[in-house]
Every structure is written in structure tokens, then in C-alpha cells.
Amino acid sequence: MERIAEKAKDIEKKERQEMILNFVMENLEKAFMTVFHYLLGAGVGRGGFNDAANARRGMGSKDEKLGNVKVTSIRGSLCKL
């Protein structure tokens, strides 16, 4: 029964993530605030943003070679229309 409950939580989490990603992709002008509100609602708060900023500052030139994530490439892989 615990495994079923865990699986249900995983499915709910994935559905929330897909919904947020879909909303961001359809409303690009509001993307920043959507992601910002999602992170605040997830309990990340100020400490989480500080951790993310520190992690970004700690990235070296090797990490920068990974490149940028382009919204069009994400959209293209999600929606095959």
C-alpha cells in the first residue's frame, strides 16, 4: 500500500510539473513570474534562491560549455504539431 501511495505522489508531482511547463510555454510573457511563484510556493524561499545563485557563481568554464537551454528546442521536443 505504501508503494501505491508513493507512486500516486510521483504521478501528482509530475502532473503539476507538466501543467506549469505547459502554462509557461503558452504564456511566455509571464514565464518569469510563473516560475518565480512556483518556486516560492514550493518552499524554496530566500534560502533556495541564495543556494541557486551561489551554485551559479560557482560554475566554471567547463560547465558553461553545456550551452543554453533554448525555449524553442524544449517546445519542439514537447509538442510535435
Within 10 angstroms of residue 12's Cβ, the number of other Cβ atoms is: 10
Q: How far, in Å, CA of 42 to CA of 52, rounded?
A: 14
pLDDT score at 80? 53
pLDDT tens by residue, the chain, 81 residues: 677 777 777 778 888 778 777 776 777 777 777 777 777 766 555 666 677 777 777 777 766 666 665 555 555 555 555
pLDDT score at 46? 63
pLDDT score at 36? 76
CB 35 within 8 A of CB 78: no
